Amino acid sequence: METTRGSEVRGRARDVVVAGARGLTLAVTGLAGSITLFVLAVVSIVLVPLGIGILTTPWVLTGVRAFANARRIVAAEWCGVRIPAAYRPVPEGATPWSRCFLMLGDPATWRDLGWLLVDMTAGFVTAVLPAALVFYPLEGFALALGLWRVFTDGTYVGWWYGFVPVSGQGSALLAGALAAALLVAAFYLSPLLLRFHFQLTRSVLAPGEGELAERVRVLTETRRDAVDTSAAELRRIERDLHDGAQARLVAMGMDLGTAEALIEKDPAKARELLAQARKSSADALTELRDLVRGIHPPVLAERGLGDAVRALALRLPLATEVEVDLDGRADAPVESAAYFAVSEVLTNAVKHSGADRVWVDLHHADGMLRVAVTDNGRGGARIGVGSGLPGVERRLGTFDGVLAVSSPAGGPTMVTMEIPCALS
């Protein structure tokens, strides 16, 4: 019983320290990022009438969305707070004028800008509080142990710890008592305060009364994309069969017919045609296997997503590490969508990133299948800019999944995908 209690206390203490560290990270990065992006967004929008903002605003707002999506990801991973994203799609080939005004006409854009204001004020406070409760007591303990002598000569108040004026060992001990009280408060409040920070973020970023209508619109679009994708896939399969395996099988039949006619008159020529027919059959079989692998890889059907991604990584020309933590298998359509999404992202890394190493992490938690693909390339990846990421986003959207890309100039690039599903 005592061992169990001690284990619970140690686990709680670890959670408190982690909450403090995460709060400090959010406070620093959130304040800097929110202020920078808000100023850039305001300046860019103000410059729209002059024409300059038409070019810069889509890029700045894309950065704002990436920053908001990064916060959505950590909210889900750190505290299980899910913040839906409901951005209206922007056509891939849209002109800068269309991109600018489509993004400015999206209510989600203005929610993002409002959130930046909240994040740099109330968000900063709610992020720094867990960190303060965890780390500020260290100063009080240091003062109680004698550090107060560095700040005062004992004749006047040289330092304040909270509301305690420290001028000697007695007041330093009071500061230590206050530090102990703060540490006790941290033990109970720090994780809750961090969760409150994300709930505040959700209250601003999540769609309001129009969420149901927005949800219907998104589902309609993803259904249409799924139908279009299926039709295109059927056309591709038909074309590949007609131009590949079917042509080879027809040629093989003709070769066999000719060989049958020549087997008495010209055995040597007949043997040559038979050898050619055998090669055609082998080539047709290879093409059929490739075609089946493109529809639904056998390893995916037989061994599941983890082993299928491992097999995919083995074929890459880059050093690839795959980490899988799945307790079961998702439904076949979800596994297929995740597999081909990972395949597309890895193809992008090989073609465009200039990386020499890739890391793939697959795990399932809180009803979500999460896949993160990270490379050490040059960075600069964006959804819709010369990549297959819009297709990945549409594929995931069919299952209510989301895609987030973090790719600063100079790298690294991290593509994170989430699909709600259950494992069996």
- CA atoms of 106 and 72, how far apart (whole Å): 18
Q: What is the mean pLDDT of residues 19-40?
A: 93
pLDDT at 179: 86
Give φ, ψ of 257 to 5 degrees.
-65, -45
Which stretch, 165-174, 182-191, 383-392, has highest mean pLDDT? 182-191
Whether residue 295 has pLDDT greater than 60: no
- Whether residues 11 and 115 fall in one domain: yes
Q: Running DSSP on this structure, what letter comes out for residue 50? A: G
- Whether residues 327 and 179 fall in one domain: no
Q: What is the mean pLDDT of residues 235-248?
A: 63
Q: What is the mean pLDDT of residues 394-409?
A: 79
- CA atoms of 275 and 197, how far apart (whole Å): 72
Whether residue 412 has pLDDT greater than 90: no
- CA atoms of 260 and 244, how far apart (whole Å): 24
- Whether residues 328 and 286 fall in one domain: no
- Whether residues 147 and 78 fall in one domain: yes
* Contacts of the segment 105-114: beta carbons below 8 A, 24+ positions apart: 107/207, 107/210, 108/207, 109/61, 109/64, 111/204, 111/205, 111/207, 112/61, 112/64, 112/65, 112/68, 112/205, 113/38, 113/41, 113/64, 114/204
Whether residue 29 has pLDDT greater than 70: yes
Match 């800068």 to its residue by tokens: 96
pLDDT at 65: 93
Whether residue 210 has pLDDT greater than 60: no
Per-residue pLDDT of 56-90, as tens digits, reads 999 999 999 999 999 998 998 888 888 888 788 77
- Whether residues 48 and 197 fall in one domain: yes
pLDDT at 127: 93
Q: Where are the alpha helices (DSSP H) in 120-168?
A: 122-142, 148-151
Whether residue 34 has pLDDT greater than 80: yes
The Cα angle at residue 305 between residues 302 and 309, in degrees rounded to 5: 110
- For all residues of the chain together, what is the average pLDDT? 80
The Cα angle at residue 58 between residues 377 and 208, in degrees rounded to 5: 105
- Whether residues 67 and 203 fall in one domain: yes
Whether residue 233 has pLDDT greater than 60: no
pTM over 0.75: no
- Whether residues 228 and 315 fall in one domain: no
Whether residue 288 has pLDDT greater than 80: no
| Last residue in a domain, options 208, 240, 268 | 208
- Looking up residue 408, the CATH number of its domain turns out to be 3.30.565.10
Q: What is the mean pLDDT of residues 339-347?
A: 86
275-289, 359-373, 398-412: the lowest-pLDDT one: 275-289
Task: Say if residue 412 is preceded by a cis peptide, omega within 30 of 0.
Answer: yes
* Three-state SS letters, 170-186: HHHHHHHHHHHHHHHHH
Report how many domains make up the chain: 3
Per-residue pLDDT of 116-142, as tens digits, reads 999 999 999 999 999 888 888 888 888
- Are 165 and 239 in contact by the 8 Å Cβ rule? The answer is no
| Last residue in a domain, options 208, 223, 238 | 208
208 vs 114, residue with greater confidence: 114
- Whether residues 321 and 263 fall in one domain: no
Match 């993160």 to its residue by tokens: 372
- Whether residues 47 and 195 fall in one domain: yes
- Would you place residue 5 in the very low, low, confident or very high pLDDT band (cuts 50, 70, 90)? low
pLDDT at 88: 80
Whether residue 183 has pLDDT greater than 80: yes
- Whether residues 215 and 185 fall in one domain: no
- Whether residues 26 and 149 fall in one domain: yes
Q: What share of the chain in percent tops pLDDT 90?
A: 21
- Would you place residue 3 in the very low, low, confident or very high pLDDT band (cuts 50, 70, 90)? low
- Would you place residue 225 in the very low, low, confident or very high pLDDT band (cuts 50, 70, 90)? low
- Structural domain that includes position 192: 1-208
- Whether residues 310 and 274 fall in one domain: no
pLDDT at 260: 72
3-state helix, strand, coil in the chain (%, to 5): 70, 10, 20
| Last residue in a domain, options 295, 315, 332 | 295
